Amino acid sequence: MGTKFMDQLSTLTRPVVRMASWVATGMLLTSAAVAQDEVVKRWAPNPPASTFGHRVDSLFWLITILVSVSFAIVLIMLAVTLMRDRAKPGKRAHFDHGRSLHDKRFTAVVSVTVFIVLDAWVLYIAMQDLRTGHWMIPTKGQEGVYEVEVLAQQWAWNFRTPGVDGEFGTADDIVTINELHVPVDRPIKLNMTSKDVIHSFFMPDMRIKRDLNPGAINLLWFQAIRTGTFDLLCAELCGYAHYQMAAPIHVLDEDVFDAWEQEASQLAELAYDADDTEAHWAWEWKD
């Protein structure tokens, strides 16, 4: 009786167990897919957020592919050599210093090929990208350009924008620390310097980076193609608190930015203190 009951119970529960196993398998596969997607997002860079950011990505992947192919060729050549010239009974090793004409020709061909395919090609593309992207700094007075003065110090970012009057060094200048608001789809032109040591203005999502040197004004520009909050980091080791030099850059729609600028400029004018000389660090705009 007990055996018959157990057989009947097994017959009844078998479909339930099978369905539960299918559900568990599906959940595991879904979890694995989500985990793999998270790994890809973690290791892959964010999509470029500036007008010329795709050029940096294209050059990066080109270099990665060329170096990977070259590395694979070297591995194949080493494997062929190791298999062909491995120790065998009755065969002694032959030492060759590569002084023959054949070896010299082979070395010359490989060197020239590597230089043309890797170095010269990549340099040519990089120079084109610089001329049509990073070095196309907007000129003064160009329509739509938004100007920002950046003063870096240990360990903070100071930003100054001219306010609604468009002039630096006036009462309505918008001065912020470790936070910057800029409009989308407009060229953002930066005048940058350092108060103490060398810092580096690095926005990975915009694919831009430029050093800030004490006693010099360095220029940089970008144009955001989408709204959001993006990271600004210091990419130069500038002291023991270097890790603290991080700031959010808020890219806003034009109407949202205009409203923010109007309000921030009014608040700045109300809070202006002529005796606070430390806050009057603006300089004459440089081009």
Does residue 150 contact residue 201 with C-beta atoms inside 8 Å? yes
Total residue count of the chain as it appears in this document: 287
Per-residue pLDDT at 21 exceeds 90? no
Mean pLDDT of 218-234: 93
Is the bond preceding residue 43 a cis peptide, omega within 30 degrees?
A: no
Mean pLDDT of 248-255: 94
Percent of the chain with pLDDT over 90: 36
pTM: 0.74
Percent of the chain with pLDDT over 70: 85
Instruction: Determine which of 88-92, 126-130, 159-163, 260-264 has the lowest per-residue pLDDT on average.
Output: 88-92
Does residue 58 contact residue 128 with C-beta atoms inside 8 Å? no
Q: Give residue-wise pLDDT tens across range 43-68.
A: 777 888 899 888 888 888 888 888 89
> Per the structure block, which two tokens stand in for 259?
């409203």
Per-residue pLDDT at 12 exceeds 50? no
Instruction: Compute how many other C-beta atoms are within 10 angstroms of the C-beta atom of residue 119.
Output: 11
Average pLDDT, the chain: 83
Using CA atoms, how far apart are residues 284 and 87, in angstroms rounded to an integer?
Answer: 74
In what helix (H) or strand (E) does residue 67 lie, and over which residues does it extend?
helix 53-84
> Per the structure block, which two tokens stand in for 71?
């590395």
**pLDDT value of residue 231:** 93
Using CA atoms, how far apart are residues 265 and 173, in angstroms rounded to an integer?
Answer: 6
Mean pLDDT of 143-147: 88
**pLDDT value of residue 194:** 94
Nearest one of 273, 98, 259, 254 to 184, comparing CA atoms: 254
Instruction: Compute how many other C-beta atoms are within 10 angstroms of the C-beta atom of residue 12.
Output: 9
Sorting pLDDT into bands at 50, 70 and 90, what band is 42? low
Q: Give residue-wise pLDDT tens across range 155-206.
A: 899 999 998 888 888 888 899 999 999 999 999 999 999 999 999 999 999 9
